[in-house]
Amino acid sequence: MISITPGSKLVGIKGLREFVPLSERRLQTMYREEGMPHIRIGGRVLFDPADVLSWAKERDTSATDQES
C-alpha cells in the first residue's frame, strides 16, 4: 500500500520512468502482478516514487538474502 503524506509527489507510469529505468510494460506488470505500491484515483494509477524505490530495495535485499 502506498503512504500518502503532505508533500508526496504522485506520478503516473510515464513520470515514474524518470526514477526507474524500466519500460512502461514492465512497470505495469510490476504493479499488477508483483505488488508494487500504487494508488488508484479515478481511473488513474499513481505512484509515489519514494515508496516504489523503497519497495524495490526491499525486494532486492530479500532476493540477496535468499541466495545466501
pLDDT digits (tens, 9 = 90+) for 22-61: 999 999 999 999 999 999 999 999 999 999 999 999 988 7
Residue 65 has pLDDT above 80, yes or no: no
Domains and CATH numbers, the chain: 13-67 (1.10.10)
Sign of the torsion angle spanned by Cα atoms 16, 48, 54, 67: negative
Cβ–Cβ under 8 Å, residues 24 and 11 = no
Return the pLDDT at 66: 62
Higher-confidence residue of 9 and 36: namely: 36
Across-strand partners of 11? 47
Residue 68 has pLDDT above 60, yes or no: no
